[in-house]
Structure formats: C-alpha cells, structure tokens
C-alpha cells in the first residue's frame, strides 16, 4: 500500500511540475526560447544562433548527444540541451551523420 501511495504522489508531483513549466514558458511569452534556432557544427564546437543571441559551445564542454524518437538532444551542460527536432534534418542519414560528427568530436 505504501509503495502505491508513494507512486501516486510522485505522479501527481510530476504532473504539477509539467504544468508549472508549461505555464511558465507560455505566460512569459519567452521569445528567446520559443523562436527559430540555427545550430551549426563548427571546428571549435556547436554554434547556436537566434534573433536574440549567439552561443558557441566548445567541444570539450559538450556533455553528450542523445538520439530519441522525435529529436536529437545535444547536452551543453548536465541539465541543459539543444533539442533539435527530426523535421530539421533533410533525411535520416543526415541526422545520423550529425550525431556521428558530434560523437567523433567529443569522444563519446
């Protein structure tokens, strides 16, 4: 019984966290996050640009790259990632090459 209560409590808290995050992002109308991003692999690292900022994440600072069903996530810190939807890539082979290139540069 206590495992069930714990699991139910965890699910409820997770739901509240999701709702809070969604409300926070949309209520603030955070244009710098919810905007078009350009991500490019360069000799020095991963370059990201929007209408509001430019960032260069050097290869030694890239934590990992994760391939998921609908996206590729390039973790630039332990808890922060550049999330790139699959629709960004012209083909599955281009997506695979993107992942391979990052892993080759990071030694992953």
For 30-82, the pLDDT digits (tens) are 666 677 889 999 999 999 998 888 999 999 999 999 999 999 999 999 889 99
Q: Could you give the residue ranges of the DSSP H alpha helices within 1-108?
A: 2-27, 92-106
Q: Does the model's pTM come out above 0.75? A: no
**In the block, which residue shows the tokens 């710098």?**
32
Q: Are 11 and 17 in contact (CB under 8 A)?
A: no
Backbone angles phi, psi at 56, to 5 degrees: -125, 115
Q: Are 81 and 74 in contact (CB under 8 A)?
A: yes
Of the pLDDT bands very low, low, confident and very high (cuts 50, 70, 90), residue 96 is very high
**Residue 83: CB atoms within 10 Å:** 14
pLDDT at site 85: 93
pLDDT at site 89: 94
């Amino acid at each position: 019984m206590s495992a069930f209560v714990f699991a139910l409590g965890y699910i409820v808290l997770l739901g509240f966290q999701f709702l809070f995050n969604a409300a926070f992002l949309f209520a603030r109308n955070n244009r710098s996050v919810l905007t078009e991003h350009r991500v490019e692999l360069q000799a020095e690292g991963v370059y990201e640009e929007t209408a509001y900022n430019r960032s260069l994440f050097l290869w030694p600072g890239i934590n990992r790259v994760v391939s998921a069903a609908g996206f590729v996530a390039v973790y630039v810190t332990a808890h922060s990632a550049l999330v790139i939807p699959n629709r960004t890539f012209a083909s599955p082979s281009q997506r695979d090459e993107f992942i391979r290139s990052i892993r080759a540069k990071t030694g992953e």
